[in-house]
Amino acid sequence: MVRSVVLIGMPGAGKSVVGRAVAARLGWPFVDTDDLVVQRVGRPVTAIFQEQGEGAFRRLERLAVRRAAAAHPAVIGTGGGVVLDERNLQALRRRGLLIWLQAPPEVLLSRLGPAAADRPLLAADPPGRLEALLRARAARYAEADITLDGTRPVDEVAEEIVGLVLQRAAATVSVSLPGGGYPVRIGAGLLDLLGAEVRRRATPSRVVLLTHGRLWRRFGARAARALAAVGLPPLRVTVPEGERAKSLRAAAAVIDRMAAAEVDRRAALVALGGGVVGDLGGFVAGVYMRGITLVHVPTTLLAQVDSAIGGKAAVNHPRAKNLVGVFHQPAVVVADVETLRPLPERELRSGLAEVVKYGMACDAALADWVEAHLPAVLARDVAVLADLVTRCAAVKARVVAADEREAGPRRVLNYGHTVGHALERLDGRLTHGEAVALGMCVEAEVSRRLGLLAGAAVERQAALLARAGLPTRLPADAPDAAALLATMRLDKKTAAGALRLVLLKEVGQAVIDQVVPEALVREALAACRASS
């Protein structure tokens, strides 16, 4: 994560003007080390040189650099000679991305104009002194992480720097679609860059920030500050926590709030939360004024690896889960893995059900990786979490790109969900991930009984789910087969009254739309039920 941008270079290179432009785009403060020196002593830099000498100024500059380096995130403009002290470079490099704005002497002189003669180090012979200083400092400037041509227009240079910051802050998985795709941005600390991400992908008239109360207290204010810092103070809309917010009634309440605030069709809705907030936000963004810009900021593992990607959004109906929905793709998905650190243990483990689903149904290499790295995932190692989300997002993006509207191949992602949704609907004790884990166990057992899947693969899946802390046996008092089958018949994956499941042929390879006799499902449910 880039915590600061540090601009170095000669006087006249554009450090201040470019720095302020970058700061405005990122929503970060701009800090000038020369200004910090002046604030400390109450005297202009020229006066300090004249009255106390260059040595005294360099000592004050070193203190200013230390103070600037501590102010992060920030864009830091430095004096031309700051690179002469190795301690300055070390302090700045620890916190920031060092960028040398390079310009030839004639450009520097032209920009400085008559004021060049007033600078202590250029007095008497500005052209000659400038060239000499540039020769003396060039090798130190070249130690920067990046060198940019400072003679270009300010906006052009500023946009390139913002792009570099965003590029280095996160991994990017691209979702390619016929109508234009979008990036999934994955990294640590991305909430502080939310405003820049939104500005880079859209030019909304205003922003609606949708979340619930607990998330507002934990992350919402930080997200709102990042948006406000780039000139997009959001309209805050909060909804109840949990599945009760995923309803037509809740969607109508959000729409009422937006309409009362005169939100127009050029607005953007930022959905900050897990699967419920993401589904509700996607649904509202898809139907409000026939569609407004959507930005997903998923804060749970389940949402980061699955529900925030792909454009599917739905609310529940009393008779079935996700019965009323739309396809509405986001402009960008911003997955800050630091939001997973405080996630309740049960929620983290529930998200792993979707991870295991990807490995079992789509990508055997991912299953291998999860088996090897599961302890680090459960320990919430941020780097490993970012790697995990990136790998899963790549699988999801590949599947979505092949079938945006779930007309065929994308239905592979429903593995575990036909049975899982029925369990979730009828047994309020289960989280979505726990229900999907049980659904995968039942559907793997169906696959085995049909002769599609080897018993070793069924056992491997069960072992991995158990290591992730997920259930592999239906509770003895779980809803009976008749109730589950009745609910499954309402599932949108059924067709012409036939029960169709996604089944496995081997680890990493699934088959879709398999018509399965209800009697066989009953047998599998019985086999996966814990004894009383």
Q: Which residue ranges form the domains of the chain, and what is each CATH number?
A: 4-167 (3.40.50.300), 170-343 (3.40.50.1970), 345-532 (1.20.1090.10)
Which candidate in 197, 338, 404, 406 is catalytic? 406
Q: Answer yes or no: 317 catalytic.
A: no
Identify the active-site residue in 200, 321, 410, 500: 410
Say which residue the tokens 């941008």 belong to.
5
Residue 279's closest CA among 329, 313, 307, 240? Answer: 313
* Residue 494 pLDDT > 70: no
- Residue 320's pLDDT band, with cuts at 50, 70 and 90, is confident
If we measure between CA atoms, which residue out of 118, 186, 163 comes closest to residue 396? 186
User: Angle at the Cα of 278 (from 273 to 281), degrees rounded to 5?
Assistant: 110
- Segment 69-78 mean pLDDT: 90
Distance CA 273, CA 297 (A): 7
Q: What is the pLDDT of residue 12?
A: 92
Q: What is the mean pLDDT of residues 2-19?
A: 94
- The pLDDT > 90 percentage for the chain reads 84
pLDDT at 261 over 60: yes
Asked whether 205 and 234 are in contact (CB, 8 A), the reply is: no
Q: What is the pLDDT of residue 367?
A: 98
Task: Give the number of other Cβ atoms within 10 Å of residue 91's Cβ.
Answer: 20
For residue 433, how many other CB atoms are within 10 A of its CB?
32
What pLDDT sits at residue 127? 86
Place of tokens 């997009």: 232
Pairing of strands 312-317, 293-298: unpaired
- For the chain, the C-alpha Rg in angstroms (whole number) is 28
Full-model pTM: 0.88
Collect all residues with Cβ–Cβ distance below 8 Å to 155 and sequence separation of at least 6.
21
- The residues facing 271 across adjacent strands are 210, 296
How much of the chain exceeds pLDDT 70, in percent? 98
Q: Which of 396, 448, 500, 529 is catalytic?
A: 396
Whether 332 has a pLDDT exceeding 80, the answer reads yes
Q: 72 an active-site residue?
A: no
Active-site hit among 119, 432, 448, 529:
432
Give the chain's mean pLDDT.
94
Q: Helices 105-112 and 126-141 sit at what angle, rounded to 10 degrees?
A: 120
CB atoms inside a 10 Å sphere around CB 141: 19
3-state secondary structure of 441: helix
CA pair distance 103, 93, nearest whole angstrom: 22
Could you say which of 3, 140, 312, 500 is catalytic? 312
Q: Measuring CA to CA, which residue among 238, 222, 213, 215 is closest to residue 303?
A: 215
At 41 the three-state DSSP class reads helix
Model confidence at 58: pLDDT above 80: yes
Catalytic, 414? Answer yes
Mean pLDDT confidence for 436-463: 98
pLDDT exceeds 90 at position 210: yes
Cα 481 from Cα 486, distance rounded (Å): 8
Confidence band, pLDDT 50/70/90 cuts, at residue 118: confident
DSSP structural state of residue 234: P
Say which of 111, 201, 411, 421 is annotated catalytic.
Answer: 421
Q: How far apart are CA 17 and CA 32, in angstroms?
A: 11
Is 290 tagged catalytic? yes
The arithmetic mean of pLDDT across residues 100-121, rounded, is 87
Catalytic residue among 88, 411, 414, 434: 414
The question of whether 396 is a catalytic residue gets the answer yes
How would residue 470 be classed by pLDDT, with cut points 50, 70 and 90?
Answer: very high
Q: What is the pLDDT of residue 493?
A: 60
Specify the pairing of strand 4-8 against strand 96-102. Answer: parallel
With bands split at pLDDT 50, 70 and 90, how would you rate the model's confidence at 130?
A: confident
Whether the predicted pLDDT of 74 surpasses 60: yes
